[in-house]
Structure 1
Amino acid sequence: MNKKLEYESSQTNDYAQEKAQNGDALSLKYVDPENSTVEAVRLIVPLTDNTALVALTFRFWILSFFFAALASIVNQYYYFRISRGGFPLYFVNLTSYALGVGLAKVLPKDNFSIGGYTMSLNPGPFNIKEHALIGIAVSTASVTAYAIDIITAMDLFLQHRMGALGAIVLIITTQCLGYGMAGVLRKYLVYPAEMVWWNNLVHVVFYNAIHNTDEFKTKRMVRGWSYMKFFWIICGGTFLYEFLPQFIAPLLLFFDWVCWLNPFNKDYWAMFSSMAGGGVGIMSLSFDWTVIGGYTLWIPATTQFNQFGGIFLSYWIILPILWMNNIMGTRTFGRPLTPRLFHSDGTPFDITPYLNDDFSLNDDKYNASAPVTMTPMYALTFMYSFIALAGCISHITCFHGADIWKTWKRSRNSADEDVHVKMMQVYLEVPQLWYAVFYVIMVGLSCMVCEVYGLQLPWWGLLVGLAMGWILTFPICAMTAIMGSGPGVNVITELVCGFMFPGKPLANMTFKCYGYMATWQCKELLSDLKLGVYLKIPPRSMLAAQLWGTLVGGVFNYVTMLLIIDAHRSYLDGTMNDPSGLWTGMGAQVLWGSALIYGALGPQRMFNSKGNYHFIYWGFLIGAVVPIIQWCLSKKYPKIRWSLFNVTIFASGMCAFPGGIIVGLVPSFVVFLIWQVWLFRYYKNVWSKYTFILSAALDTGAALTGLAIFIFLSGGVSSKLSAVFPSWIANYYLPDGSNAPYLGVNRCGAFNDTWTGGIYD
């Protein structure tokens, strides 16, 4: 029996499109059991749609602007904080729902016109599509623009503040170049059912639950609770609990219990203290859900096994061997994990005296100084990133190349399309020409800002970076869509630019930003487009929401950055230690450190065949060859699932630092084993029923606590709203703001760097 899409009004597809464009009600549903080929999608995503729902409403524009501005400010604030929180998207979803429902009751139903465009102030009840668009616009705005790193690094480490116009253009162009790429690749990375984009399933469940749509009306949780009652109870309980680790008892945030066995031993400090103490965090525990993360409940088990395996190997085995044996002078640099550069005697390296007026490297001055080096672990992360990138291309080609080719051929035949893509055919698509024109405009503005504002990157160099983005985007986004995780292109862009423009750190940062962000932003936009397919949001409304969020977020990111730098410059540039332990310039330091390695000094100096770090290039060969070997073995021994080992995700775990913080690994792994391995295997019905709404509730509650602390207890809005919890055993501090020996919250490390053991002679 042929499965087909039927409309309740029994209209043809053309007439259905006409009714949808006129705003008439048209309910779509499948009368035959055709569904997605992916099990999780079949269990979660409804096969219904109401084409009469308006997505771009007056309520959308008002609420999205308010929350996008607020989210970009808060997340930019957290960018400079040691404890990385953020503006929770679920808070936006909950609050915007309440405000949207309220506006639907009080706003008049009058129409108003802007130019030739007419809009109703109140088109009807607050609906799921406009609600989701608000969330998409805010999520686009809330991500701190990567270009902020360039502007911050120049301001902090070169004492050069870029002009406001150039800074805004730099931010907007780096954020928007991915739109053109997403438009071209959507047919291959969004429309196929195999491209799941796993993080969207949480949002699908949440939006359908809060709007009580279709089968969600009849679903019942434990004790007969509705989806939303279950959500609110779990969310409320998590909100109250999270005050313990986040405010009352920070000891629960960084529970470095092994250090307590020998707190004055430097080896214990280096291996077992967490990032709060300056070490690796082996066996460190955390009872903060923001550290554990809701993703442990639903990211595919294969992905998490590979990721955890990489972290364990790199930081629990390789790094202790390097430290304990002082291999390549690991102990010389003081800390096992740091992105800073040093002279060979362990003193920090400052590039400023060796730069010309245009911020390029003065070779004569540099050659007359002591050699520059880095921690071995920092060098290894570069090799791991090369393994991940080469492995991604090789793995996708070997194990998914045939399927992607079939998908490309199927894309020319609408009869073979995914069921949800078929349901989207009633809406007007965004023409490819729109994406192309927009991309060309952004490229032109990008060339202008590079040439006019002294970023050391000529226009042709920028085009090379953008070309790299095009080449690498497809395999990276394909792996992310299928596996839930994929590599970045930040390191490879640094390397290529280092060979092209040696001695130019600004060129390296700019090249990296454009090459990396084009790929990263394209990935985020493709994920949004997939959410739009799942929720049946009109494509043109989706594009408008994404652009709107990008513009609002970029402007408020920039303004917030300026205010924070002016208020805390000495803490951010590393000239002073923040006695409160709250402010850090780590994000900008990492970018600047990489710019020095690849840009100012250049890979020819840092990674030449006679140096200590030439081994990093072996990463390309390892990453490329391992999947080929697996593929060959899969042909010879087809009963073994060789593809389960993914060298890309494994290597991504190995280079978690400096991009991530390695803390609370044990509780995350335990939660993963319980939920993704045991529960999914033996109680799949329970897993499918509770996983995504539970993840949303836990993440929302924990994030709301962080937001409440930021606003009412940490002086986020006003210095008058600032409080410190009284000192006790789980939050010990001295009146002068310093901590006595090993009595800080991490209980590891000696006061004034005085050690009684584990000292390398």
Structure 2
Amino acid sequence: MAGVLANEPSLAQDEKLTSDEKLAYTKSDVESTSSTVSEVLQDERDIVTHVISVDDDPTQNPWTFRAFFLGLGLSCFGGVLAEIYYFKPQTVLVSVMFLAIIAYVLGIFMAFIIPRRGVFRYLNPGPFNKKENAFIVIMAGAAANSALGTEVLAVQRLYYNITPNAGASIFLLFSSQLLGYGIGGLLRPVLLYPSKMLYPSVLPMVSMFDALYNKVDDGGNKKKLRMFYIGFFALFVWEIFPEWMFPLLTGFSIFCLAGHKNQDFTRIFGGSNGNEGLGILSICFDWQYIAGSYNPMAIPLRAQFSNLIGYILCIICFVAVYYNNIWDSKNFPFLSQVLFYQNGSQYDQLLILNDQFEVDKTLLAEQGLPFYAGTWVVNLLGTNLGMGATFTHLLLWNFDDLRYAWGWATPSSLKKAYQEFDWKFWRHDGKRDVPDEDADIDPHYREMLKYPDAPNSWYVIVLFAAIITSLVIIYKTNSTLPWWGFIVAVLLASISILFFGSLYAMTGLQFIIQPFVQMIGGFIHPGKPMANMYFVLYGYNSVTQAQLLLRDLKIAQYTKLPPRAAFTAQMIGTLLGCVLNYVLMNTIIDNQRPILLSVEGTNVWSGQQPQQYNSQAIAWGGLSHELFAVGKRYQWVAWAYVLGLAVPRAVLARPPLVPETPAQLPVHADPVLLHLLAWYLRTRYPKWFAKYNYILAAALDGGTQVMVFILSFAVQGASGDSHLFPQWWGANQAGNYDHCAMIAS
């Protein structure tokens, strides 16, 4: 239910920023590129010409041994870590900013240590440059995402006792990851090239690149690196304590320590273990979870407080639903993503499925309809309300932006695109005409025109290869998804990429449309939970992948990395990441299967994500008409989309009760507290903020993630037996780490 976060302020909606925020954005980010502009930036063109450098050095070569060596190495690191994080009790993402910083540090080191004479000059052609760094980041970033296809494979192994052969599994991952790339690549003229398609989330990293590679430097880069080393190694050492030796620090709750026999305290104040409780007023000292899904040092204060309000409302709703026993909530665990019988025992889905893994009405009548935990129903309601409200919000506040984003669909534009399309890709040299100065052309895009393009035909080949492979796979793996259902999923993904891709490009807001896609798939393929999983894989994951591809291509455009180098980096990183995701998924399931199937899990491993994916597939894919249709038990989950459309404009326009100054703000969460410090530094010490904020944020993420990577294999059982720290007060191995009462499941 939490509000969706923007990674940076939406400068396209300038009226939403206070004067202080505008001034801070101007001072800090502009000064980071040594600009002398002092006025507030007015539009996207001002931002992309003053916040980040438009200059290009065509002599910089990204096709180096260093770029490929570090790109492949960090892709391995990111791909493995992303899959480890998939099985964590809280959503944690691999920091792309950290990948950028560590690539810079290692690249500088390689340029220094490798000789430049003789044959070594091919390994070390000169100083490490910005384009090499961008190449590495794009490759590693493409790998550092847990492929949604592994979720399908994990559910099949955990809940259907099916293990598809390795070849089919790998090609399932390839096709599902590249389908969105093909669609997104063909939409570059709409979602990438225009200045209005700003991609705010990448501005901090590109601005950091400009600072790091600024040739006119007074020793500032050495100070930045010193700050990075200090922050990195401090968190690297610190994370040993909350992650292994002193796990109480992951959720320190005074209430649990005072009332460790009270199960209501566990539900309300517990939070160190997965699905334990709401963690109200619990203090976390583990940076992995403080900055899990977003770094609080790089997110606007207003966005964080909008999120905080969402959390507060969520807590109120959870408590109200559970303690009023709505939907028989007290029969089930307080927090859970799995399905239950009415008596509270876990629902055995295989008992209602026939040998084709479709719902059998006779078997269903014998077992009865499953139940959700009440809090999970609230989560679904909130998600769907937010989805509906998004459309209303866009029509009220972004109508002109949406109209601009769909300008490509005019008959003249479509005719021009058709005339310019060349399917003979092998004859395409990629050269493009550089037009005269034009105020409507993005200056960064204009600089990129000197480089051969990765032509549309390349993306057509990727798209058709993904479609053909997918059609083979859905029948080879007995997915029960018919060919026409796959086509519907692809069409739904294409429309969603246009709509939500333009929103993400302009504002930085990334909406989760998975529940909506699940609902569509459930109603067009009733009684087929397996088909629903595959429908969501191709209908939703393609949207996410297209957004990631376009984001990375925007990084390439801002850093002047040639398009063909960016294409190569993305393909290599994505394919390598798929293989690593698959290997790690199987290894973790082999070694942690009982924990992944349990409702609560531990503070190290959790099956919450495959649990929710499976329960949604059964409920929506198998029983949509029985559970969510009009008059059924959870009908309001589906009606929430309609209700969301009617959310009043005043609520959508500005989150209520959000003060303008930090002095008025109560502190409820660690990330908000940390961002208050960053906000203060940004407005009061903009030069210091511009120099060190993102470097320090990347260092904290990096030190944490490297130690998590090491501990996962060394002591936490990612590749074999786990080695828990000996029992003591700070490592309560016999129960919840925060000493809250254990609740029998």
**Alpha-carbon spacing, 1:393–1:475, altered in 2? closer, same or farther (3 Å):** farther
**Alpha-carbon spacing, 1:175–1:367, altered in 2? closer, same or farther (3 Å):** same
Moved more, 89-98 or 391-400: 89-98
- Give the Å deviation of 1:250: 1.4
Corresponding letter in the other structure for 1:322: V
Query: Given that residues 530 and 621 in structure 2 are in contact (C-alpha distance below 8 angstroms), is that contact kept between their aligned partners in structure 1?
Result: yes
* Aligned twin of 2:224: 227
User: Does 2:243 correspond to 1:246?
Assistant: yes
Query: Given that residues 263 and 743 in structure 2 are in contact (C-alpha distance below 8 angstroms), is that contact kept between their aligned partners in structure 1?
Result: no
**Alpha-carbon spacing, 1:502–1:562, altered in 2? closer, same or farther (3 Å):** same
Per-residue CA deviation, residues 538-557 of structure 1 (Å, 9 max, x unaligned), is 11110110011111111122
Moved more, 414-423 or 81-90: 81-90
- Give the Å deviation of 1:752: 6.1
Corresponding letter in the other structure for 2:653: S
Q: How does 1:687-698 map to 2 (within 5 A)?
A: 687-698=689-700
* Aligned twin of 1:588: 610
Aligned residue pairs, count: 671
SS in 2 for 1:274: coil
SS in 1 for 2:449: helix
Per-residue CA deviation, residues 645-683 of structure 1 (Å, 9 max, x unaligned), is 49xxxxxxxxxxxxxxxxx9611122233433x444555
SS in 1 for 2:439: helix
Query: Given that residues 44 and 204 in structure 1 are in contact (C-alpha distance below 8 angstroms), is that contact kept between their aligned partners in structure 2?
Result: no
Question: In structure 1, how many angstroms separate the alpha carbons of the residues matched to 2:68 and 2:129?
Answer: 14
* Aligned twin of 1:747: 739
* Aligned twin of 2:671: 668
Question: In structure 2, how many angstroms separate the alpha carbons of the residues matched to 1:496 and 1:213?
Answer: 50
Query: Given that residues 179 and 467 in structure 2 are in contact (C-alpha distance below 8 angstroms), is that contact kept between their aligned partners in structure 1?
Result: yes
Question: In structure 1, how many angstroms separate the alpha carbons of the residues matched to 2:328 and 2:68?
Answer: 56
Question: In structure 1, how many angstroms separate the alpha carbons of the residues matched to 2:677 and 2:150?
Answer: 39
* Aligned twin of 2:43: 37
Question: In structure 2, how many angstroms separate the alpha carbons of the residues matched to 1:408 and 1:588?
Answer: 36
Question: In structure 2, how many angstroms separate the alpha carbons of the residues matched to 1:615 and 1:160?
Answer: 33
* Aligned twin of 2:78: 71
Question: In structure 2, how many angstroms separate the alpha carbons of the residues matched to 1:36 and 1:46?
Answer: 17
**Alpha-carbon spacing, 1:417–1:303, altered in 2? closer, same or farther (3 Å):** farther
Question: In structure 2, how many angstroms separate the alpha carbons of the residues matched to 1:187 and 1:67?
Answer: 30
**Alpha-carbon spacing, 1:665–1:189, altered in 2? closer, same or farther (3 Å):** farther
Question: In structure 2, how many angstroms separate the alpha carbons of the residues matched to 1:196 and 1:302?
Answer: 20
Query: Given that residues 175 and 521 in structure 1 are in contact (C-alpha distance below 8 angstroms), is that contact kept between their aligned partners in structure 2?
Result: yes
Query: Given that residues 149 and 176 in structure 2 are in contact (C-alpha distance below 8 angstroms), is that contact kept between their aligned partners in structure 1?
Result: yes
TM-score (norm 2): 0.82
* Aligned twin of 1:320: 319
* Aligned twin of 2:701: 699
**Alpha-carbon spacing, 1:665–1:612, altered in 2? closer, same or farther (3 Å):** farther
TM-score (norm 1): 0.80
- Give the Å deviation of 1:408: 6.7
Per-residue CA deviation, residues 216-238 of structure 1 (Å, 9 max, x unaligned), is x24749xxx72222222232333
Question: In structure 2, how many angstroms separate the alpha carbons of the residues matched to 1:475 and 1:410?
Answer: 13
Question: In structure 2, how many angstroms separate the alpha carbons of the residues matched to 1:304 and 1:483?
Answer: 15
Corresponding letter in the other structure for 1:37: D
- Give the Å deviation of 1:153: 0.9
Question: In structure 1, how many angstroms separate the alpha carbons of the residues matched to 2:652 and 2:324?
Answer: 35
User: Does 2:214 correspond to 1:213?
Assistant: yes
- Give the Å deviation of 1:473: 1.9
Corresponding letter in the other structure for 1:77: I
Corresponding letter in the other structure for 2:266: W
Which residues of structure 1 form unaligned runs of 5+? 1-28, 113-118, 634-640, 647-663, 754-761
- Give the Å deviation of 1:615: 1.1
**Alpha-carbon spacing, 1:292–1:193, altered in 2? closer, same or farther (3 Å):** farther
Task: Pick the aligned partner of 1:132 from 131, 134, 156.
Answer: 134
* Aligned twin of 1:15: none
**Alpha-carbon spacing, 1:257–1:194, altered in 2? closer, same or farther (3 Å):** farther
- Give the Å deviation of 1:425: 2.6
Q: How does 1:693-732 map to 2 (within 5 A)?
A: 693-714=695-716, 724-732=724-732
* Aligned twin of 1:292: 290
Question: In structure 1, how many angstroms separate the alpha carbons of the residues matched to 2:654 and 2:117?
Answer: 56
Corresponding letter in the other structure for 1:124: G
Question: In structure 2, how many angstroms separate the alpha carbons of the residues matched to 1:617 and 1:716?
Answer: 38
SS in 1 for 2:306: helix
**Alpha-carbon spacing, 1:77–1:240, altered in 2? closer, same or farther (3 Å):** closer
* Aligned twin of 2:266: 269
- Give the Å deviation of 1:366: 0.7
Task: Pick the aligned partner of 1:59 from 60, 66, 70.
Answer: 66
SS in 2 for 1:343: coil
Per-residue CA deviation, residues 719-754 of structure 1 (Å, 9 max, x unaligned), is 6xx754444332234xxxx24xxxx4212114868x
- Give the Å deviation of 1:85: 6.0
- Give the Å deviation of 1:120: 5.4
Q: How does 1:113-512 map to 2 (within 5 A)?
A: 121-209=123-211, 211-214=212-215, 217-218=217-218, 220=220, 226-274=223-271, 276=273, 278-293=276-291, 295-315=295-315, 317-333=316-332, 335-406=333-404, 414-512=438-536
Question: In structure 2, how many angstroms separate the alpha carbons of the residues matched to 1:454 and 1:724?
Answer: 40
**Alpha-carbon spacing, 1:46–1:417, altered in 2? closer, same or farther (3 Å):** same
Question: In structure 2, how many angstroms separate the alpha carbons of the residues matched to 1:717 and 1:354?
Answer: 34
Q: How does 1:640-659 map to 2 (within 5 A)?
A: 643-645=653-655
SS in 1 for 2:371: strand
SS in 2 for 1:129: helix
Q: Percent identity?
A: 27
Task: Pick the aligned partner of 1:80 from 53, 62, 87.
Answer: 87
Corresponding letter in the other structure for 1:593: S
Per-residue CA deviation, residues 426-485 of structure 1 (Å, 9 max, x unaligned), is 222222232223212211211121123210011110110111111122332333334433
User: Does 2:627 correspond to 1:606?
Assistant: yes
Corresponding letter in the other structure for 1:271: I
Question: In structure 2, how many angstroms separate the alpha carbons of the residues matched to 1:718 and 1:156?
Answer: 18
- Give the Å deviation of 1:600: 1.9
Question: In structure 2, how many angstroms separate the alpha carbons of the residues matched to 1:427 and 1:547?
Answer: 19
* Aligned twin of 2:18: none
Per-residue CA deviation, residues 247-293 of structure 1 (Å, 9 max, x unaligned), is 33211111122223422222221111115171122222212222222
Question: In structure 2, how many angstroms separate the alpha carbons of the residues matched to 1:47 and 1:186?
Answer: 20
Query: Given that residues 109 and 123 in structure 1 are in contact (C-alpha distance below 8 angstroms), is that contact kept between their aligned partners in structure 2?
Result: no
Question: In structure 1, how many angstroms separate the alpha carbons of the residues matched to 2:65 and 2:591?
Answer: 37
Question: In structure 2, how many angstroms separate the alpha carbons of the residues matched to 1:609 and 1:490?
Answer: 21
SS in 2 for 1:214: coil
Question: In structure 2, how many angstroms separate the alpha carbons of the residues matched to 1:231 and 1:189?
Answer: 34
User: Does 2:615 correspond to 1:616?
Assistant: no
Moved more, 36-45 or 614-623: 36-45
- Give the Å deviation of 1:149: 0.9
**Alpha-carbon spacing, 1:110–1:587, altered in 2? closer, same or farther (3 Å):** farther
**Alpha-carbon spacing, 1:123–1:408, altered in 2? closer, same or farther (3 Å):** farther
- Give the Å deviation of 1:107: 6.9
- Give the Å deviation of 1:130: 1.5
Which residues of structure 2 form unaligned runs of 5+? 1-33, 414-434, 657-666
Corresponding letter in the other structure for 1:254: G
Question: In structure 1, how many angstroms separate the alpha carbons of the residues matched to 2:738 and 2:81?
Answer: 26
Q: How does 1:572-583 map to 2 (within 5 A)?
A: 572-574=596-598, 582-583=604-605
Task: Pick the aligned partner of 1:522 from 527, 543, 546.
Answer: 546
CA RMSD, Structure 1 to Structure 2 (Å): 3.4
Corresponding letter in the other structure for 1:313: L
* Aligned twin of 2:537: 513
* Aligned twin of 2:6: none
- Give the Å deviation of 1:337: 1.5
- Give the Å deviation of 1:369: 2.5
